[in-house]
Amino acid sequence: MTIEVNTRAVATAPRPGQCLRTFLREAGWFGVKKGCDTGDCGACTVWVDGEPVHSCLYPAHRAIGRQVTTIEGLAAPDGALHPMQAQFVAAQGFQCGFCTAGMIMTAASLDQAQLVALPRALKGNLCRCTGYRAISDAIRGATHVEEAEPGEACGRSLAAPAGPQVVTGGARFTLDVAMPGMLHMKLLRAPHAHARILGIDAAAALALPGVRAVLTHLDAPQRRYSSAQHEHTDADPLDMRVLDDTVRFVGQRVAAVVAETEAAAEAGCRLLEVSYDVLPVLLDPAAARAEPADLVAELHGGIGDVAAGLAAADVTYAAEYETQRTQHVALETHAAIGWLDDSGRLCLRSSTQTPFLTRRSLCTLFDLPPAQVYVEAGRMGGGFGGKQEMLVEDIVALAVLRVGAPVRLELTREEQFCATTTRHPMRIKVQLGATRDGVLTAIGIEVLSNTGAYANHGIGVLFHACGEPVAVYRCPNKRVDGYVVTTNTVPAGAFRGYGLPQTGFAMESAMDELARRLELDPIALRRRNVVQDGEAMVSFRGAPDDVEIGSYGLDQCLTLVEQALAASDDAAPDGWLVGQGLALSMCDTIPPRGHIADARVALAADGMFDLAVGTAEFGNGTSTVHTQIAAAVLGTVAARIRLRQSDTDAVPHDTGAYGSTGTVVAGTATLRAAEALRQLILERAAEQLSVAVSGLALALDHVVAGPMQVGLSALAPLEAGGHCDGTPRSVSFNVHGFRVAVEPQTGELRILKSVQAADAGRVINPMQCKGQIEGAVAQALGAALYEAVMLDDAGQVTSRDLRSYHIPTCADVPPTEVLFAKTTDRLGPLGAKSMSEAPYDPVVPALANAIRDATGVRFLSTPIRADRIWRALDAARSAIPDA
């Protein structure tokens, strides 16, 4: 008996206990994805006899004699897309696309009744990128993508070039490649939060059939490195080893087993005998601050005299806020494949936001010249900053160099929670003072950031956290004191917002409380104190070096949200408490001290343009934006731009897809390359037509001069490059508003209205930019209301799967109205500013402020779970006699 997959019989029989998901992927159906292997995410959804199932839970042997349909089998035999696939293209119902195959398989099976109750019907399919609005629109048949005339690509909602591949399962993510002789790696992880490894007995593991190697600290380079990846590395302490003889958190790598099958590698790990000398554990960041060895860095600075400013104030406010650990939960876990090519060169295919920096780190770690290391990123299933980190490539490289064969490592969802990175939990003390008429006289913040067991991004995140939330307000007296410490806990790292969401929560909550004490409207207080166009923005560094207000839309954003909230008439159920609140944020559009991008554009003999950019696409939409910028400059249509990206052989250097730089830095490099090529084309045409360049016009296929013309193909080949060093930097602004209702007896929260206004400069692709904002809002709502990486008293992560670490489902995310300020940035490419991270920043404090307005309770920490709201309301009731 065989299993019929997409009308083809698969001859291989399933192994005992094998799930359908691995069976299908081993048979080459890479459209079937893995997001959890526990039935929680739906990325593996396929049909068995027409019924959708989670193939990770479905025993492969049960599919014998049945018909299995994967995303690859959904289209008609003539290649025509299934209507649901076409709808996902038309509405661009995806960003990274990792959830899309499963989402389409579920959606295509729904009947009319289920379509009416769509959020419920989608409860088994998670998406971390979109916030579900674009998915819901796709399923309901909305069309959002637009066409553009030649040269008119910018400002239009053009479709992502990869759309047809994404909806048919043809897009190749990191592990969607087959390689003969591939070995599998599994990692043994530490059971202690702090211990010295006394010895590892690998004899039994090595004797196991199929096991090819065991790697321990004795095999690893002595050299220390930072998993953080930055263009300039001097702020990232070198404190990690590929495999260390001391472990500093539960879940740290202890050893790696490389074997012919995953099962053998797992069994090998179980047979390793490790003896430990258990050491004292430090979990509390406040205690760590007193330990010189654990204080990674501190920063202090400001202007004026905060004590004098507070003394001069009519009203003051002081409180301590706390934010929790949250996880990126990119649906594609960290993964890499390594091999040696025919010349013996080390090659890596990895889910990384920084292929060029990863190559550089591997070269340093293993003493290899750049020419001996190649890194490529396939399509990436989400990143959110978590993949601006070298967490798998180093150990895969070590294994490849050791065994000389291809090696594959894919982290499980449990490893993702226990052993990758989180947002930095922070404690933030805020002091504010203002005169009676609402003019700020003092701002003081003290930040204690917990970077976990290793410093990696700790200093950079602290630096950023202490910047914009303070700098956005004018005040003569500002003081910032920041500390970042290590503890024996899972490391923190880069995560969307890079510190701003934490301190923004504290600052924007505090501003709301100050407004209440002043009996002023919170919007009026902000308007009175926010930085104005043309002013210097001052934080702990005094006036900053290369940050300018390239365009100013904060005033528009405040007005847009104010008007949207005022117009909101969503009714709350009888007896519910109703309130509204808002918060603002400012974000430097590029990280400091250099973010570098190079781009090349070439006119090919077929009249197409070949664009090569280094930055990686992980759902942030930069592929589309780059083709739009090039098409606009070259007077053509986006379909004429062939894009190559994130491949250290094929494209020029790029620092990486982080810090919201894909549009503003790589986009500027693309713009400059396209402008240079346009000039070359015109000069070559002028020569051929014997006219002045000024008399020429560039059209779709040719260059014209009056009645004369020359075809573009006749001018090929021509090539030009563009460079951007990421300076000077502009700022973007976001304002978020909520109207909420709270059920007083249960603490249940309903969001009646959610609105965000963004100053993104000139919006190059409105559909995509809206999608970025909606996705950020959904991710921030999870952090505001329930997401938390939980640790027990021994420092062990206890929220180890998607069921216990709940991310928003379709049913959890309210619609968000997205509005754009009308500005054009003088620094960004074609007037654009970045908008990937920034929309996250104001969401949590805006919600906290709305809940405060509704209930009277100021929550000083997140997440604001319904049970905490209920407890607070219950306590308030108990405090009122006879209530």
Q: Using N-to-C axis directions, what is the helix angle for 83-90 and 133-140, rounded to 10°?
A: 130
Size of the site for ligand FES (CB under 6 A): 25
Evaluate whether 651 touches 644 at the Cβ level (below 8 Å): yes
Q: Which stretch binds ligand FES (CB under 6 A): 35-43, 232-240, 550-558, 632-640?
A: 35-43
104 or 602: CB nearest ligand FES: 104
Q: DSSP assignment of 482-543, as one string?
A: EEEE--SSPPB---TTTTHHHHHHHHHHHHHHHHHHHT--HHHHHHHHB--TTPPP-BTTBS
**How far is it, in rounded angstroms, from Cα 152 to Cα 193?**
57
| Only segment of 65-73, 124-132, 238-246, 872-880 that touches ligand FES (CB under 6 A) | 124-132
What is the DSSP secondary structure assignment for residue 158, as one 8-state letter?
P
Q: Which one among 383, 497, 619, 771 touches ligand FES, defined by CB under 6 A?
A: 619
Q: Which of 43, 75, 243, 752 binds ligand FES (CB under 6 A)?
A: 43
- The answer to the question of residue 52 lying near ligand FES (CB under 6 A) is no
User: How near is the Cβ of 745 to ligand FES at its closest, in Å?
Assistant: 35
Shortest distance in whole angstroms from residue 35 CB to ligand FES: 4
Q: In the bound complex, what is the minimum distance in angstroms from residue 628's beta carbon to ligand FES?
A: 20
Per DSSP, helices labelled H in 53-202 are 83-90, 100-107, 112-116, 118-121, 133-140, 163-168
Of how many residues is the chain composed?
A: 883
Shortest distance, CB of residue 663 to ligand FES, whole angstroms? Answer: 18
Out of 5, 24, 40, 684, the only residue in the binding site for ligand FES (CB under 6 A) is 40
Which listed residue (75, 89, 90, 96) binds ligand FES by CB under 6 A?
A: 96
Token output for 319: 């409180």
CB of residue 527 to ligand FES, shortest distance in Å: 37
Piece of the chain touching ligand FES by CB under 6 A; list 96-104, 282-290, 421-429, 623-631: 96-104
Give me the DSSP letters along 344-370.
--EEEEE--S-HHHHHHHHHHHHT--G
Q: Which residues contact 352 (CB under 8 A, 6 or more apart)?
A: 229, 336, 358, 375, 377, 380, 387, 390, 393, 616
State the nearest-atom distance from the C-beta of 620 to ligand FES, in Å.
10
Q: Cα–Cα distance between 545 and 203 in angstroms, integer?
A: 58
Alpha helices in 208-344 (DSSP H): 262-271, 285-289, 306-311
Nearest distance from residue 589's CB to ligand FES, in Å?
23
Q: Which is nearer to ligand FES, 171 or 789 (by Cβ)?
A: 171
Q: x-or-dash pattern for ligand FES, window 295-334, by CB under 6 A?
A: ------------------------------------x---
Report the 10 Å Cβ neighbour count for 583. 30
Nearest-angstrom CA–CA distance, 105 and 71: 7
Residue 229: both structure tokens together:
């990846």
Whether 556 contacts 821, CB under 8 Å = yes
Binding letters toward ligand FES, positions 363-402, x by CB under 6 A: -------------------x--------------------
CB 237 within 8 A of CB 226: yes
Q: At closest approach, how far in Å is the CB of 134 from ligand FES?
A: 9
Query: According to CB under 6 A, which one of 3, 20, 36, 315 is a site residue for ligand FES?
Result: 36
Note whether 128 binds ligand FES by CB under 6 A. yes
Under the criterion CB under 6 A, does residue 98 sit at the interface with ligand FES? yes
Two structure tokens written together for 446: 């003290």
CB of 127 to ligand FES, least distance (A): 3
Min dist CB 500 to ligand FES, Å, is 22
Binding ligand FES (rule: CB under 6 A), the pick from 3, 24, 56, 500 is 56
Q: Are strands 67-69 and 3-5 parallel, antiparallel or unpaired?
A: parallel
Say how far apart CA 832 and CA 838 lie, in whole Å.
Answer: 14
For 476-627, list the strands marked E by DSSP. Answer: 478-485, 577-588, 597-603, 609-613
Q: Is the dihedral of CA 124, 130, 131, 133 positive or negative?
A: negative
Nearer to ligand FES, 98 or 840 (CB): 98
Q: Which is nearer to ligand FES, 22 or 449 (CB)?
A: 22
What is the per-residue binding string for ligand FES in 759-778, x denoting contact by CB under 6 A? Answer: --------------------
Where along the sequence are the contacts to ligand FES (CB under 6 A)? 34-37, 39-44, 54, 56, 94-99, 127-130, 331, 382, 619
